[in-house]
Amino acid sequence: MGEQFKTDLHQLETFIRTLEGCVQELNEARTALSHVRADQIGTQRLDESCDVFQERWKYGAEQTKKMIDAVSEGVKTNKKAYQEVEDALDKAFKDIAKASTGRGNGGAG
């Protein structure tokens, strides 16, 4: 069964960094766009459309950030749990190996 289910902790860490990078890039894009004012672009209709877009972009970026943060926290929690299981298994196997080596020496440990 262990062969069918594997967790790559390094890949989880990479995924977490990717998610955090997405949030940073969204914030940078929104910040860059926030410096462009609609009254600098052209016609009144275009200006109004740009203002509406800015508001929607800001709202959408904030909602996306919340979702990415939630996914990122979930992945971090899972990674931590997997790491704890892996560490516990590693310790258990070392303890078993140590105990079996001790018995092989006439019970002297």
pLDDT at 39: 61
Q: What number is the average pLDDT over the span 71-91?
A: 91
Q: What number is the average pLDDT over the span 9-18?
A: 88
Is residue 73 one of the residues assigned to a domain?
yes
Is residue 2 one of the residues assigned to a domain?
no
Is residue 108 one of the residues assigned to a domain?
no
Structural domain tally of the chain?
1
Q: How far is CA 67 from the centre of its chain?
A: 11
Is residue 37 one of the residues assigned to a domain?
yes
Is residue 25 one of the residues assigned to a domain?
yes
pLDDT bin (cut points 50, 70, 90) of residue 77 is very high
- What's phi and psi for 3, nearest 5 deg? -70, -25
Rounded mean pLDDT of the chain?
80
pLDDT bin (cut points 50, 70, 90) of residue 1 is very low
C-alpha 67/C-alpha 36 separation (Å) is 27
Range of the domain at 18: 10-102
Is residue 74 one of the residues assigned to a domain?
yes
Q: What number is the average pLDDT over the span 2-22?
A: 81
Is residue 3 one of the residues assigned to a domain?
no
State whether the Cα torsion 8-10-13-19 is positive or negative: negative
Of all helices (H) and strands (E), which one includes residue 109?
Answer: none
pLDDT at 47 over 80: no
Is residue 85 one of the residues assigned to a domain?
yes
